[in-house]
Amino acid sequence: MKNILFVSLGNVCRSPLAEGILKNKIEKSNKKAIIDSAGFESFNINEPPQKKAIKFAKKKGIDISEIRCRLFTVEDFDIFDEVYVMDSGSYRECQYFSRNEKDMEKVKFLMNVTSKPNKTVHNPNYFSEGGLEKTYKMLNEACDKIVDSI
């Protein structure tokens, strides 16, 4: 069993969507994993993801409405085997919290699992209407690879 954490800046869209996608795929595959998400901004602690993300996920058959935004903590390095970041900002934040090289060995750019080295997962807040769909496609592709690796 693997413990997997998705990390983005605010934990309000990309990382909870990735959490929901992977939980859905893990459940369907009958594999075992603990999956969570976290962020680095404190603005939305204990709140659900953005309404547009919840609505979009629901259209894809994924319920992320029960997820609550939380902050990344140093203890996450002890709990999770893999920490997938959405972008370079989240990578740098993980570096800040890391205690040693062992912690940072767990941190990977999510899109690296799809052979797209250090590629940023699009933040749909900065894109047009199709932004969530583009983000979903990236997350879905990466989550397929993660499930295959479990």
CA-wise closest residue to 52 among 120, 141, 127, 125: 125
* Identity of the amino acid at 86: M
What is the predicted pLDDT for the residue at 129? 60
Summarize pLDDT for 7-39 with one digit per residue, the tens.
999 999 999 999 999 999 999 999 999 999 999
Neighbouring-strand partners of residue 135: none
Whether pLDDT at 127 is above 70 = no
Summarize pLDDT for 61-108 with one digit per residue, the tens.
999 999 999 999 999 999 999 999 999 999 999 999 999 999 999 999
Distance CA(91)–CA(125), nearest Å, equals: 19
Q: How many CB atoms lie within 10 A of CB 30?
A: 6
The tokens describing 129, both together, are 């209407």
Whether pLDDT at 128 is above 60 = no
Element (H or E) spanning 12, and its range?
A: none
Are the CB atoms for 141 and 22 separated by under 8 Å? no
Q: Which pTM does this prediction carry?
A: 0.95
- What domains appear along the chain, each with residue ranges and CATH number? 2-149 (3.40.50.2300)
